[in-house]
Structure 1
């Protein structure tokens, strides 16, 4: 029996490695390049406009169709990405793929901006109201309504619904392990507390989730980035060498050093792409589910929040996390088997063992509560699409129970399939999206020709009048 299980583990690991190192890397990078070209390099040429239309409009009220505000949709989507993947996942990628993995995370992010923008464009265009009079949307809706591929839409929804169960378990286990190491709290106590807190959030639906995330997530991100920058600046002399390592070893192997076992180019690419996707979820199709509920009068206006979220999530937070473990040398001190503890070592080296470990644990706790809350919402929406509102409420309970089981380290054998299931979800979303490239380009062109140019013309007229 042990030999059989060992064979299964090896087979799953090999399949996962092939899927992420070759197939998904190719699809995501080529797909991102293709969408970037179809959008005429929108995320680069109009990044300033994106900032103005997103963070620059944060406190502006609107009365457009939707269930939650554009900013709440953004923080809800960001809540599912800004968390364990950014804080713990980046060191894991470096431990297994070397510093070069961070470079491939950047590439995935820059191209992923076009991918996420495209997903949200389609989600807003093809959204609809459910039986509770709440706006719903996402890949399953635009795949079915725009392409008529009902079985692909159902496959996406079913795979994502299942994939989120081990995803929830991994999230809760990571915080249970952290709090046990930092404070000595029993895993069952952390799991039970998380179940209660998450239930209070998710049983209020997307409106309550949005109200929680728009208050917690921005502050948590700012504090985490601020403290991490203090540590990086304390090692500012290491910065040039660290960037040299990142660029060099994205394209060349790196030898073993200290606790680091060494890595080849394939490992850097595989872990950079996988963790990059995990961190910003561009191509997975989850963020459009949250954004579909936003109040907006044009798909492009809300989709710009997708570009901004990838920038904040990967280019800012993941880079900060990566630099912290690299400049402090923590990546050489901690072995790959304990890579999730690497960020604790990095923070503790500057803040002290007690405060450093406590800081990371507390932030992970808050991040993961908001992350799991929105993940459960995503899972509910898949169950609702497939089987109706009653089944969605049953799945809500199953996900909450998964929080406790994961905290206790139970059913770990299904965690092995997380990468494979997630890979299938990506394929079920990204390929239909590429078939809808003309739809994506048309929506973007409509915004540029009808909305952007009109606003530019109004500004010129206003300046002309003021000069007179």
Structure 2
């Protein structure tokens, strides 16, 4: 545990904060601040697609299903427990840095999504893609791709599902008094049933459960904020003041430095929305969309939902309800961070509030299990192929890990998750930096098509060298657009 904790601390406290924020700032500037001009038009188009009930081709997901699967993975215990820990350890000002990380993370996740779309492959009639594929096909580095794939399989498909099942077991046991073994068995059966249905089952589950889950939690949070409306303005002030002068909150009793505030805010923000970690591109790669850039815009919506809506809801519940106590030192507060949000809901809803939060946390964790498994499976396919026996074996391993995870010390599992997700992020950040020019060219290609009035267009996903008979080569190195 000491070795794992030490490596994780170095990764998250130093290397990844600078790496993830750096690539986010770089892509924001290079793409000319897409956060302001691209998100809401994409949201409008996606809503129109939902209303029209547009169905994806076989072996693909609709853009909304891909977004739902992505958000399913992004929205988990980190949005409740992780955010509460950030506030407890870094003060209210940590929320400011968490939102800043999300803002720049939107440009990062756009880059991941478009590269995943461009370099995806088809196996047994189904699309598959993700960082390992754009490392192999775009960066031409098999070693880096295999390293990423191995850490993703372990970090998401084994250790990742363990930490989420552990959170479900703890929440249900605490709120309802149900024994762990009774929770573990039906949970394993539910997850196994969803996973055995393949991509189609995962996509349908995500698009139904994720919106309902998010709306339910946000609505409950809004009710708490309304009941404590007199504390809303002071809460907002404490976030901005605490971001730059944390000693001013609580008369200096917190004992928090500006370095701690920034560190906890950025680290938890980056972890909760997963921008740059290399997880969510796996779902965006299989989206049935007309141009990679369009799925990149939709990917940015996922970060907006995860951080600006759900994480911010958790922040405001804790501060306005008084469950966060500014007169208690950070070390003491951090020890009770896991029950902070629960106390916020209890203050308005009583025992029902604690049960409500347990249900929300359980659904958050369940959807994260499904999303993370889907991402891990894409890397199993990369390493071992798409044989049915191989994938079935991995499903069984993942479900067994899920069951065992309900009984393990949560602190140790969280440290393992931090370690492996950190190791995943390193090669992904390097690749995004090297391929950043391609990302910009893809966006330019989209704008060029849009400007010329094309109704439908298709980006050439295949390697240009292998498809000279189908595509002409442009000066930029991109293929010519194909008019359907």
Give the structure-1-normalised TM-score. 0.90
The equivalent residue for 1:383 is: 380
Would the alpha carbon gap of residues 409 and 321 (structure 1) be closer, same or farther in structure 2, given more than 3 Å must change?
same
1:41 aligns with 2:33: yes
Report if aligned partners of 2:90, 2:264 keep a CA contact under 8 Å in 1. yes
**Secondary structure at 1:54 match in 2:** helix
Q: Which residue of 1 aligns with 2:198?
A: 205
Q: For 1:319 and 1:172, locate their aligned partners in 2 and report how far apart those are by CA, in whole Å.
A: 24
**Counterpart of 1:271?**
264
Q: Which of the residues 323, 333, 345 maps onto 1:330?
A: 323
Give the ranges of 4+ consecutive aligned residues of structure 1 lying more than 6 Å apart after TM superposition: none
Question: Residue deviations 1:354-407, cap 9 Å, x none?
Answer: 101110111122222221012112112212211223433322212111111111
Q: CA deviation at 1:58?
A: 2.6
Which protein is richer in helix relative to its size?
1
Q: Say which is worse superposed, 412-421 or 245-254, in terms of deviation.
A: 412-421
Q: Distance in 2 between matches of 1:399 and 1:262?
A: 42
Instruction: Tell me by how many angstroms 1:201 deviates.
Output: 0.5
Q: Once the 2 structures are TM-superposed, how far is the Cα of residue 415 of structure 1 from its aligned partner?
A: 4.1
The verdict on how the C-alpha distance between 1:388 and 1:342 changes in structure 2, with shifts beyond 3 A counting, is same
Q: Find out whether 1:321 has 2:314 as its counterpart.
A: yes
Q: 1:205: Cα distance to partner?
A: 1.0
Structure 2 unaligned spans of 5+: 456-484
Tell me, yes or no, if the aligned pair for 1:64 and 1:297 is still in contact at 8 Å: no
Residues paired across the two proteins, number: 445
- Residues 325 and 346 in structure 1, CA contact (< 8 A), matched pair in contact too: yes
Instruction: Show the counterpart of 1:392.
Output: 391
Q: Please give the secondary structure, in 1, of the residue aligned with 2:138.
A: helix
Alignment match, 1:170: 163
Residues in 2 aligned to 1:314 and 1:411: alpha-carbon distance in whole angstroms: 23
Counterpart in the other structure of 1:30 = 22
Q: Distance in 2 between matches of 1:305 and 1:130?
A: 25
Paired position in structure 1 for 2:184: 191
Shift of 1:409: 2.0
Deviation at 1:294, TM superposition (A): 1.2
Q: For the residues of structure 1 that align with 2:247 and 2:334, how far apart are their CA atoms?
A: 15
Change in 2 beyond 3 A, CA 1:113/1:154: same
TM-aligned CA deviation for residue 171 of structure 1: 1.1
What TM-score, normalized to structure 2?
0.87
Match for residue 129 of structure 1?
122
Cα-to-partner distance string for 1:117-150 (whole Å, 9 max, x where unaligned): 111101111111113x110001000111011011
Point out the more displaced range, 261-270 or 151-160. 261-270
Quick check: 1:17–1:270 contact (8 Å CA) kept in 2? Answer: no
Instruction: State the distance in 2 between where 1:238 and 1:410 align.
Output: 37
**Equivalent of 2:44, from 30, 52, 69?**
52
- Does structure 2 retain, via aligned residues, the 8 Å contact 1:53–1:304? no
Give, in angstroms, the shift of residue 455 of structure 1.
7.1
Separation of aligned partners in 1, 2:56 and 2:215: 29
**DSSP-derived class of the 1:454 partner:** coil
SS in 1 for 2:324: helix
Distance 2:451 2:149 in 1: 35
Which residue of 2 is the match for residue 88 of structure 1?
Answer: 81
Q: What SS does the aligned partner of 1:147 have? A: coil
Let me know the Cα RMSD of the aligned residues. Answer: 2.2
Of the three residues 336, 358, 363, the one matched with 1:361 is 358
Deviates more, 1:284-293 or 1:52-61: 52-61
Report if aligned partners of 1:116, 1:283 keep a CA contact under 8 Å in 2. Answer: yes
CA distance in structure 2 between the aligned counterparts of 1:240 and 1:455, rounded to whole angstroms: 48
- Relative to 1, partners in 2 of residues 1:65 and 1:202: Cα closer, same or farther, differing over 3 Å? closer
Q: Mapping of 1:64-83 within 5 angstroms?
A: 67-83=60-76
5 Å-filtered alignment, 1:253-292, equals 253-254=246-247, 262-292=255-285
